[in-house]
Structure 1
Amino acid sequence: MARRCELTGKGPMSGNNVSHAKNRTRRRFLPNLNDVSLMSEALGRTFKLKISAAALRSVDHRGGFDAFLAKAKDEELSASALKIKKDIAKAQAAA
């Protein structure tokens, strides 16, 4: 999944470049994606994900990676993030 946040689903948007003479040409606005390693406390290991800077702030705001995934909607998550979410739910149910 290229150019798409694995946690929020944020992807490229389209718009216009507007010159001084008001000539309009199409352009793309790409999300600010970063490769990060996030630690899951329930599983005790880290996961490498490609997420947006806004998603990284949201993870911190919600109290960590596990809490963010617990509240996240399944349709926004990538396949790998959805698998991590289910593994965390199993680990928390067993504990």
Structure 2
Amino acid sequence: MALTSSDIDRVAQLARLQLEPAERTRMLAQINGFFDIVEQMRAVDTSGVEPLAHPTAALGEVALSLRDDVVSETNQREANQRSAPAVERGLFLVPKVIE
């Protein structure tokens, strides 16, 4: 699936971007290059390959070095909420956006 210059113009308009002609050309090449990579990946036969639950699962039993889950910052909720327009019981109140 290759994009055209008009597709790039449409995407730029939707994203509210002003692209110079050189930027438009570079963007077209980059996005079409991305689609080429996707097509190459689609061409690979992956039948019989089990999906991995985690990327390190391919390495076998690997001990991950995770940091300890400890509190490193003090509770500054009140200070952080001072500038909020509306707060109730420690929660930010926001206008309803879905009816």
Shorter chain as denominator, the TM-score bin is under 0.3
Higher helix proportion: 2
Choose between structure 1 and 2 for higher RCO, CA contacts under 8 A separated by at least 6 residues: 1
Bigger Rg, structure 1 or 2 = 2
**TM-score with structure 2 length normalisation?**
0.22
